[in-house]
């Protein structure tokens, strides 16, 4: 089950909520009892290969075989 990060606008605390993707946008109450929260954008799982080598990958247009 995915974990979503929320921040409380009232007290500034940040907290995680595990819920299904269908409920991802549903409001989440703050553990301190506040209701004014926002879901944060998480970058987890969005990283690519930062150290991937540059250059052609082969094939007709990527490997330099086209004249």
At residue 42, the pLDDT reads: 73
Q: What is the value of pTM for the model shown?
A: 0.60
Q: State mean pLDDT over 18-38.
A: 94
Tokens at residue 50, please? 């930062």
Question: What is the average pLDDT value for the chain, to the nearest integer?
Answer: 81
DSSP readout, 4-67?
A: EEEEETTT--EEEEE--GGGTTS----TTS---EEEPPP-TT----TTPPPS--SHHHHTT---
């Amino acid at each position: 089950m995915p974990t979503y990060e929320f921040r409380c606008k009232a007290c500034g605390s940040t907290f995680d909520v595990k819920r299904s993707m269908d409920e991802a946008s549903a409001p989440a109450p703050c553990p301190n009892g506040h209701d004014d929260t926002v879901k944060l954008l998480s970058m987890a799982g969005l990283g690519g290969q930062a150290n991937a080598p540059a250059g052609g990958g082969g094939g007709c247009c990527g490997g330099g075989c086209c004249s």
